[in-house]
Amino acid sequence: DGLHGDMRQKQRDDVMSSFKKGEIETLVATDVASRGIDVKNIEAVFNYDIPQDTESYIHRIGRTGRAGKEGRAFTFAAGREIYRIKNIQKHTNTVIRCKELPSAA
């Protein structure tokens, strides 16, 4: 299911309730709609785009590592976005491993 900024609060609450209960395996959310989501045991976060500022990126991927838990963050980046990844690495003093997307074959 998904969350986006045009949803009424009731719809948003229903989606979040279903996700927390495990009735929804995958939640897709726009950047704005994802703010304030608090769900335990998030296994992975997939970033279709990189936020403009590093703090937003850290906040977004931090959903996988709450309370000593571990998780993974995957970010799709190409072209000039690679420089944003390098800035995030520098700011956070971490290494983000880059990998090529697998082909259809």
Q: What pLDDT is recorded for position 57? A: 80
Q: 47: domain CATH number? A: 3.40.50.300
Residue 60 sits in the same domain as residue 98: yes
Give 14's pLDDT tier (boundaries 50, 70, 90).
very high
Please tell me the pTM assigned to this model.
0.74
Least confident of 6-20, 21-35, 41-55, 62-76: 62-76
pLDDT, tens digit (0-9, with 9 covering 90-100), for 41-74 = 778 888 888 877 888 787 777 666 566 777 888 8
Residue 9 sits in the same domain as residue 54: no
Residue 14 sits in the same domain as residue 61: no
Q: What pLDDT is recorded for position 101? A: 83
Is 49 part of any domain? yes
What are the C-alpha distances in Å from 89 to residues 34, 38, 56, 64, 85?
Answer: 23, 25, 14, 18, 6
Give 81's pLDDT tier (boundaries 50, 70, 90).
confident
Q: With 90 as the cut, is the pLDDT of residue 102 above it?
A: no
* Residues of the domain holding 53: 40-105
For 54, the token pair is 């590093």
Residue 53 sits in the same domain as residue 81: yes
Average pLDDT, the chain: 84
Is 77 part of any domain? yes
Q: What angle do CA 89, 4, 91 make, to 5 degrees?
A: 10
Is 35 part of any domain? no
For 37, the token pair is 């989501």
Q: What pLDDT is recorded for position 64? A: 61
Cα–Cα nearest to 77, from 45, 99, 56, 102: 99
Is 33 part of any domain? no
At 45, is the secondary structure helix, strand, or coil? Answer: strand
- Number of compact structural domains in the chain: 2
Residue 50 sits in the same domain as residue 84: yes
